[in-house]
Amino acid sequence: MPDLIGPPVARRPEEALELVALALSDGDLEAALAQYEKGALLASWPGGDGSSRAARNGDSDVGQALARIMALRLPLSVRVVIVLESPELALVVCERRIAGTDPDGEPVWLTGHGCALLRPQPDGSWRIAADVWHAGPELSPGSAEIGPAARVPGRTRHGPFG
């Protein structure tokens, strides 16, 4: 007998990310994929070679990327940092984290700041059009940064704001 209850739909942009995290944590790939538009892009955590490959929904790559995360059998958490919403588009900045021991007994620690671009659907729900799970390396306490007093060659600073 077919399942008469479909996956939940996001009524707010940030809810789509929360529903993906819940679905993957519960082992429900179909519910996670339901939060992505056909043709969506997904850049998950970098692979062992340090590169982050984008997967496209519709070519089943998004499903494969999410299935790899789900195969860890660890809870995925998402913390929404900011939501910028217009009637046609929303940008959600968040942090995702998976920590624990995988089925092979190996420790897993995946975390990253990322963002998702979402579009409203005709039924009033929101779906993910592009999703970046790891936007770049975290800055360690000793990392070099360009500070406010950095000088640009050939430019003279005037006043407190340059």
Average pLDDT, the chain: 82
Domain segments of the chain: what residues? 13-132
Give 24-32 contacts, CB < 8 A, sequence gap 24+.
24/66, 24/69, 24/70, 24/76, 25/74, 25/75, 25/76, 27/70, 27/73, 29/63, 29/66, 29/67, 29/70, 31/7, 32/66, 32/70
Most confident of 51-60, 121-130, 140-149: 121-130
- CATH 3.10.450.50 given to domain 13-132: yes
Tell me the mean pLDDT in the region 60-78: 91
The percent of residues above 90 in pLDDT, for the chain, comes to 63
Question: What's the pLDDT tens digit per position in 84-126?
Answer: 999 999 999 999 999 999 999 999 999 989 999 999 999 999 9
